[in-house]
Structure 1
Amino acid sequence: MEPSRGDMIRFEGVVKRFGDHTVLDQLDLRVGRGERVTLIGPSGSGKTTILRLLMTLERVTEGTIHVDGRPFSHMPSTRRDGNLVPADERYLAGPRRRIGMVFQQFNLFPHMKVLANVMEAPVHVLGLSRDEAAERGRALLDLVGLQDKHDAHPTQLSGGQQQRVAIARALAMRPDILLLDEVTSALDPELVAGVLDVLRDVARTTDITMLCVTHEMGFAKDVSDRVLMFDRGRILESGTPEQMFDDPEHERTRTFLGAVH
């Protein structure tokens, strides 16, 4: 079955194994264009693996992924001995540009100033002029509240400020999809609120499709259109934030939410 044109992300029957360990088990997942979906569940339930597949840091074992109605895990209109052919690097270069990710760790270039960190990918991947990239970078640093840090080095910033630079860097690519992987887990508690406020602003002011893995349930409740509870590589249940946090269906979900609140 071909994905609906309304789906920005679609997983069909996706299996991911590492050796004998199955991390994702026949996963079917749809995320609509402009939808904000949060993945919750215990560690090891497969949530981050979904993001890593979309960043092409991992490849599917079985099944298919489509992004915006086009094949992502495999080559379009190509079969070998009747089987789908895994997408090669040349093909992936196009759809990969449409996906931005903010990781737990900031991964900034320590030898570059803040503005240069934000400019790097638009110049070298998108082919923007340095002037265009600088203008875009300054606007995004202003957006994340770092108007006075353009010329600082990452080592001169707090962890929360570095994570805000990482968010600006991801947005500088003008992605259609933004992946967020526990973006506050490496921060001191007093720095978490500022980073989450920035992401709330992004959710409120853009139409970017967001797929988020987090243990910050207040944030999930604020920004999500839909919340999915994962357990053992499968979606245990899904619903609106109100349904999931106020009246979850499964005892496993209730137990998990009780532990993280």
Structure 2
Amino acid sequence: MNRKEFLKQISFASILLADGSVIPAFASDFSNKKTTLRFVVASDGHFGQPKTEYKDFFNTFTHNVNSQHRQHKFDFCVINGDIIHDDVNFLATAKSHFDDLEMPYFVTQGNHDHATPEQWERVWGVPLNYDYVLGNNAFLFGTTSNLEGKYLSPDVEWFSQKLEQYKKKKNIFIFVHITPVKWTDNGVDAKEFQALLSKYKNVKAVFNGHDHDQEGIKTHEGIPYLFDSHFGGNWGTSYRGFRIVELQKDNSILTYLMNPTTKINEATL
């Protein structure tokens, strides 16, 4: 069995624990000896949005991510919300495109992903809030919306439990679709969530989608918040791309955007 066939047989359900935690199915191999962890983050595919070439956007995204993966392996990919555009009937079809990715992937719910918790878990095999552990790193994936598409703060109670659970991990990475700091017109001023994160010095970074025109990094109370532009939809940056994140041996982060085949906006955190 080749690597691609093996990955296709790994479902979220097969590695999801009873408490909502996810454990790694296998160890990664790294082509860059200075890099201990490598993943890609993208958001805002908006599958099904009228008057857009959404199928082409998804095909281009999976092709380009797989091309990068073949050069230097990713541990996983995160699609950070607004996978579909309002119609839950598109959810399974969107998933079929992501199943072409040659690495494990994770998803979060955005404000255009109008699905009930039951519908979401039926398609993806994970609840709306869940976590994943790889080595000394914990990854927390949280919803910031609901069936109606309301802009919400992340679930402070759930995140509080998980941050406490993983307080001895070296790094915690957080993925939420809607920006939880009011930097942009579409962000949410989630002050309770902000205060919670400030208590845990091992929160390494927060990743946001939602704001298609944002491609940079902002900092709040010493925590970097990283945007990834968009890979679909009908507005935003002039390119449709994704962000690559590389954790180095010294625990610094090298990150940059692909737009979608050229590296831009490289930064070290």
TM-score range, shorter chain: 0.3 to 0.5
The structure whose residues are more often helix, as a share, is 1
TM-score (structure 1 length as normaliser)? 0.34
Higher relative contact order (CA 8 A, sep 6+): 1
TM-score (structure 2 length as normaliser)? 0.34
Larger Rg: 1
